[in-house]
Amino acid sequence: MRRDKILLNFVEREQPKRKGIGGGMDEGSGNKKHIILVHGACHGAWSWHKVTTLLRSAGYRVTAPDLAASGIDERRFQDLRTFTDYTQPLLDVVASLPPGERVVLVGHSLGGMNIALAMDRFPEKIAAAVFVAAFMPDSVNPPSYVLDKVRRSAKICHSSHLCPGCNPNSHWCMPSATFLLHRQLKQEKTLSYWLDTQFGSVVGDKERGPTSMLFGPEFLSKLYKLSPPEDLTLAMTLARPSSFFLEDLGSVPPFSESGYGSVEKVYVVCAQDEGISEGFQRWMIENNPVKVVKEMEDADHMPMFSTPKQLFQCLSDVADAST
């Protein structure tokens, strides 16, 4: 596929001698902390290329895996059934760490849920976890709880026709129906929060899989509103279908206090975020208090593009303080 070739060329150009972006382990540089960067929905390890470069230049070891069916991972969305399937590449990376090594996990957006699962399974391997404008679960409710909060604040409208730009031959779009989510805002009438995001399920799938979503150009523009235009163009080119895995995450027990709850947590609030609002980020912090809250006043939902140097400094401070 043309997109895959573009992404492979991009990864090779950005990291010609390293294996830390796109699924592999970093070769390492010095004795500084090992940081694992986890991307959000519809994105890939490529979204971390600026921060990865800054961290490595400062001597940190960095791994940025592609989650399943993301980035250059060869799996397709219809191959996935559960959130664990989607998270497996990260779980494999953490499981393979040498005995005694403790890393800093960083999750962006939906990636907060992925690092939470890794924290719950391997708490002894994680020195600290950083949630960057990310969904952050608690140890009381099912993992889907914070995602359900978003769903309950939205109006679900069913349309019997395809949304604009939807490809009826796409493996992820459902030709018989498309679901458009609209948020109810206090100051305005119904405003389309998700804009041109396309939701559906796998065509002809005998076994019902997770509902898919693919961010469209308009929605991506909202997420990248303060980011350089070339980074938005990159995202429009490389975005792949993803999912919130709501049914699966709602059917499993809460993350444990002894696992997920025992890991030191830091939350990075992005004040200009129009994807996960600042208010919702702060509600998650109240719902599940963290050790440290860092604030980035000029960051949109994609701080790795809009404020990469500031995000680098936040992560560097956390890594240096962790044990």
Q: How confident is the model at residue 183 (pLDDT cuts 50, 70, 90)?
A: very low
Distance in angstroms (rounded) separating the CA atoms of residues 9 and 67: 19
Check pLDDT > 50 for residue 3. Answer: yes
Instruction: Return d(Cα 119, Cα 129) in angstroms, integer.
Output: 8
For residue 123, pLDDT over 60 is answered with: yes
**Confidence band, pLDDT 50/70/90 cuts, at residue 193:** confident
Are 199 and 175 in contact by the 8 Å Cβ rule? The answer is no
Length of the chain: 323
306 is catalytic: no
CATH homologous superfamily of 2-142+248-321: Alpha/Beta hydrolase fold, catalytic domain (3.40.50.1820)
Q: What is the mean pLDDT of residues 72-86?
A: 96
Lowest mean pLDDT among 50-64, 73-87, 186-200, 220-234: 186-200
Catalytic hit among 109, 201, 243, 322? 109
Asked if the model's pLDDT at residue 20 lies above 70, the reply is: no
CB 231 within 8 A of CB 242: no
DSSP string, 93-105: HHHTSPTT--EEE
Closest-CA residue to 140 (of 289, 38, 292): 289
**pLDDT of res. 209:** 79
Query: Active-site residue among 273, 300, 316, 322?
Result: 273
The closest of 176, 205, 181, 195 to 77, measured between CA atoms, is 205
3-state SS assignment for residue 182? strand
For the record, the structure tokens of 310 come out as 């500031």
pLDDT at residue 84 in the model: 99
The whole-angstrom separation of Cα 102 and Cα 114 is: 17
d(CA 185, CA 68) in angstroms, rounded, equals 34
- Higher pLDDT pick, 44 / 187: 44
Confidence of residue 314 (pLDDT cuts 50, 70, 90): very high
Find, among 70, 105, 71, the residue nearest to 86 by Cα.
70
Examine the pLDDT at 188 and tell me if it is beyond 60. no
Whether residue 99 is predicted with pLDDT greater than 80 in this model: the reply is yes
Is 301 labeled as catalytic in the residue annotation? yes
Instruction: Express as a percent the part of the chain with pLDDT over 70.
Output: 76
Q: What are phi and psi of 62, to 5 degrees?
A: -130, 135
Give the whole-angstrom CA distance, residue 119 versus residue 63. 16
> Would you state the pLDDT for residue 202?
57
Query: Is 300 considered catalytic here?
Result: no
State the average pLDDT for the chain.
85
In the set 301, 306, 316, 322, the catalytic residue is 301
**Residue 36 and residue 65 in contact, taking contact as beta carbons nearer than 8 Å:** yes
Q: Within 13 Å, how many C-alpha atoms sit on residue 91's CB side?
A: 14
Q: Where are the domains of the chain?
A: 2-142+248-321
